[in-house]
Amino acid sequence: MRKLTLAIAVIVPMLGHAASAEDSLKIGYIDPLSGGGASVGEGGLKTFQYLADELNVKGGILGHKIEIVPLDNKTNPQESLVQAQKAIDAGVHYITQGNGSSVGAALSDFVTKNNSRNPGKEVLYFNYAAVDPSLTNEKCSYWHFRWDASSDIKMEALTNYMKDTASIKKVYLINQDYSFGQSVRTDARKMLGAKRPDIQIVGDELHPLLKVTDFSPYIAKIKASGADSVVTGNWGQDFALLLKAAADAGLKVNWYTYYAGGAGGPTAIKQTGLDGQVFQITEGFANSGNKAAMDYEKAFRAKVNLSLWYPRAVNEMRMFKAAAEKANSIDPVKVAAALEDLKFDVLDGGQGIMRKDDHQFLQPIYISSFGKLTESEPFDEESTGWGWHLVSRIDTPQAMVSTTCKMARP
């Protein structure tokens, strides 16, 4: 009996340790799953679920299976805070979000305050697509990490390409009326003015976010302005419907965009007949030419039946695993410390670094154009028969802007 008691005393702690190792590691996915942003939100959810499955097959993160917890924020900052609190109450210590910088700012502030009030119960916010520069400048937070390039980094690269395109004479700016759209218009004006002062800004329009159902009045203004090029940060239905209205009106201009590859965008471009006239800046794309990334794209499409819109989400989850292994812990405080200045080989090739000063991931970025495919380009988009072509690659050292972040550290 005494031997049995001793055996149980030894076994019980071991069982407890095994159970702990197998506990799920929950990641709260806070993005629109209803309303005007639902198409991009659903695509992001499927992406993160795929990434979780991929890591779980290999043992998860330090033996913890990853569970993606979907939380619908309807692209609304206040609703996002409700969902974030719900996640925390359910034991979530990591949240990820991307669609809407106004949401991103609200979540960053919420997490920062939560962590100061609840030491030992910290939460990290992993940002995969909210690109307002303020999030890594005046509003920076130790508890926020961004894997997408900020909008000023993207505009710096985009205007470097545009300045050498002599045919650009008149540019129209049209953007969504919230923090991100406002930063796109501000950066475009400033950078084009400095690099190509001869270019005329012939229109500058802001419209409500995900509320416009008919863009024909806006297209009529663009047409009347005589613009040869449009710069827009529009995403989701605001891009697809904008291009649809352009097709209906027969508007043939060049488009310089951030998110033309999102849901509905490629179909609208094909319908407009803009072969080689729509440009996008991203951290990767399907026909990038990188074999490992293209193999990944093929496997992803076969299982998810979607294009990989977010290579940065792949980088985010892989770096999360690397940081946890470096820290030998899934404690958010230790993972945050391990992420700082972490160098990482990104999906589409080359090395990136999570800059310690502001928690902005710096990485190679690409300019691509959309049109008819060549024999070396296997991936079309939305069954259009058209796909993305490489125009320019900007390596990490050239894909940087300075930061004004004065980070308060725990």
Give residue-wise pLDDT tens across range 52-101.
999 999 999 999 999 999 999 999 999 999 999 999 999 999 999 999 99
| 324 domain-assigned | yes
Q: How far apart are CA 265 and CA 364, in angstroms?
A: 23
CA 263 to chain centre: 14
Closest CA to 278 of 389, 365, 380: 389
**211 and 318 within one domain:** no
Number of domains in the chain: 2
Q: Answer whether residue 4 shows pLDDT above 90.
A: no
| 368 domain-assigned | no
Which pLDDT does position 14 carry in this prediction? 40
Q: How far apart are CA 222 and CA 130, in angstroms?
A: 27
**317 and 302 within one domain:** yes
Closest CA to 400 of 368, 366, 360, 367: 360
**275 and 158 within one domain:** yes
Question: How do residues 229-248 score in pLDDT, each as one tens digit?
Answer: 999 999 999 999 999 999 99
Listed residues 217, 251, 282: the one ending a domain: 282
**64 and 128 within one domain:** yes
Which pLDDT does position 407 carry in this prediction? 97
Which pLDDT does position 10 carry in this prediction? 44
CA 134 to chain centre: 16
At 278, the amino acid letter reads V
What is the pLDDT averaged over residues 364-393?
97
What is the pLDDT averaged over residues 213-242?
97
**129 and 81 within one domain:** yes
What is the pLDDT averaged over residues 96-122?
97
Q: At what angle do helices 291-304 and 38-57 cross, to 10 degrees?
A: 110
| 49 domain-assigned | yes
| 381 domain-assigned | no
Question: How do residues 172-206 score in pLDDT, each as one tens digit?
Answer: 999 999 999 999 999 999 999 999 999 999 999 99
Q: How far apart are CA 8 and CA 2, in angstroms?
A: 10
What is the pLDDT averaged over residues 270-287?
96
Q: Which two tokens stand for residue 125?
A: 């916010």
**95 and 57 within one domain:** yes
Owning domain of residue 347: 6-149+292-362
Give the pLDDT band (50/70/90) at residue 12. Answer: very low
Give the pLDDT band (50/70/90) at residue 23. Answer: confident
Which pLDDT does position 7 carry in this prediction? 44
CA 162 to chain centre: 23
Q: Answer whether residue 8 shows pLDDT above 70.
A: no
Q: Answer whether residue 2 shows pLDDT above 70.
A: no
How high is the mean pLDDT of the chain? 94
Instruction: State the pairing for strand pair 278-282/365-372.
Output: antiparallel
Listed residues 231, 247, 282: the one ending a domain: 282
Q: Answer whether residue 11 shows pLDDT above 60.
A: no
**84 and 52 within one domain:** yes
pLDDT above 90 covers a percentage of the chain that reads 94
Q: Which distant-in-sequence residues (6+ apart) come within 8 Å of 250 by Cβ?
A: none
Tell me the CATH number at 232: 3.40.50.2300
Q: Answer whether residue 126 shows pLDDT above 80.
A: yes
Which pLDDT does position 339 carry in this prediction? 98
**96 and 230 within one domain:** no
At 22, the amino acid letter reads E
Q: How far apart are CA 349 and CA 292, in angstroms?
A: 8
Q: Which distant-in-sequence residues (6+ apart) come within 8 Å of 148 by Cβ?
A: 98, 127, 128, 129, 130, 131, 283, 312, 361
| 399 domain-assigned | no
Listed residues 282, 308, 328: the one ending a domain: 282
